[in-house]
Structure 1
Amino acid sequence: MTDELLVVRCQLGEREALAELVRAWHDPVWTYVRRMLDHGDADDVAQEVWLAVVRGLPRLREPGRFAPWLFTIARRAVTNRLREEYGRQETTTASGQVTEHADEQVVEDRAEVMADRAALVAGLSGLPLAEREILVLFYLEDLSIEDCAQICAIPVGTVKSRLSRARRLLREQLGERGTR
């Protein structure tokens, strides 16, 4: 069943259609949120996204554009959480207290694939937010350049330039770490 049909069914009040929509899109949304935020925040923000989706579905005018709409909501939720975190950090440092951030530890695995994946995740987390977001949306969520532009509310040319810069920065970071 297509997303468009599921959205229309949701708009008509079918609960099972909403359950199917959530089953289909939960993992991509959670993965996007997880790649943009710390692990501890990902679950909460993903729930916020689905709450906003449920509230906004009746007003969605183009059911065929569900994926970009969904990721726009996810992006706003991530941005709001980052603003909250930065606000807390500024308040904490302004009061004279030093904050420490525990880096995520990657469990070593003998499999080379796991090592490559860990290096890629570390490389992604080292990118500036705008470039990381474009890479995640384009490569990991398989969204088109046009959809990325709509989600991020930027021109298509800006998406292309951010993709180019992000690839270069990621290549440099992986090269510094000795990863291929």
Structure 2
Amino acid sequence: MTDELLVVRCRLGEREAFAELVRAWHDPVWNYVRRMLGPAQADDVAQEVWVAVVRGLPRLREPGRFAPWLFTIARRAVADRLREEYARPEVLTEEERATGDPADALADRAGLLAGLSELPVREREILVLFYLHDLSLEDCAQICAVPVGTVKSRLSRARRMLRDRLTEKGYRE
């Protein structure tokens, strides 16, 4: 069943349709949030995203554009959380510094994820949306509220920055 049809069914009050949307999109949203904020905050922020979806679904003008709309909401939730974090002074205990996502520690992509997490937010966001969520340049532009040309330049800069960081750590092309 298409997202568009599920959105229309949700608007008609079908709870099962919303449950299907959540089943289909929870993991991509959670992964996006985790890559932007880290595993400690992923559950809370992903839940905030779904609350915003419930509230905003009646106002979605183009049901066929559900995915970009959903990631726009997720992006705003991430930005809100980052603003909160930047406003607070950073004080981590030794235990918090040592605790990581066990799944990432076991993954072969640990170096890539570490390099990705070191990138500035704008560049990291474009890489996550484009490569990890397979969104088009146009969808990325809509989500980030920038022109497609800006997405292309951020994508190019992000790839270069990630390559440089990985090279510094001893990874080869």
TM-score (norm 1): 0.88
Q: Which amino acid aligns with 1:40?
A: A
* Contact 1:33–1:46 (Cα < 8 Å) also in 2: yes
Q: Which amino acid aligns with 1:157?
A: G
Shift of 1:128: 0.6
**Deviations, residues 30-87 of structure 1 (Å, cap 9, x unaligned):** 0000000021111000000000001110111100000000000000000000001111
Runs of 5+ in structure 2 lacking a partner?
none
Instruction: Show the counterpart of 2:112.
Output: 120
Identity of aligned residues (%): 76
Runs of 5+ in structure 1 lacking a partner?
93-98
CA distance in 2, matches of 1:69, 1:127: 25
Residue aligned with 1:102, SS: helix
* Contact 1:30–1:42 (Cα < 8 Å) also in 2: yes
Q: How does 1:12-31 map to 2 (within 5 A)?
A: 12-31=12-31
Shift of 1:177: 1.3
1:154 aligns with 2:149: no
Instruction: Show the counterpart of 1:163.
Output: 155
* Contact 1:6–1:20 (Cα < 8 Å) also in 2: yes
CA distance in 1, matches of 2:40, 2:170: 29
Count of aligned pairs: 167
**Deviations, residues 6-36 of structure 1 (Å, cap 9, x unaligned):** 0010011100000000000000000000000
Q: Which amino acid aligns with 1:25?
A: W
Q: Which amino acid aligns with 1:88?
A: R
* Contact 1:134–1:163 (Cα < 8 Å) also in 2: yes
**Pair 121,104 (structure 1): closer, same or farther in 2 beyond 3 Å:** farther
Q: CA RMSD in A?
A: 1.5
Residue aligned with 2:150, SS: helix
TM-score (norm 2): 0.92
**Pair 174,5 (structure 1): closer, same or farther in 2 beyond 3 Å:** same
Shift of 1:88: 1.2
Q: How does 1:128-139 map to 2 (within 5 A)?
A: 128-139=120-131
**Deviations, residues 73-110 of structure 1 (Å, cap 9, x unaligned):** 00000000000111112xx7xxxxxx23726547655x
**Pair 119,106 (structure 1): closer, same or farther in 2 beyond 3 Å:** farther
Runs of 4+ in 1 over 3 A off after TM superposition: 103-109
CA distance in 1, matches of 2:113, 2:101: 10
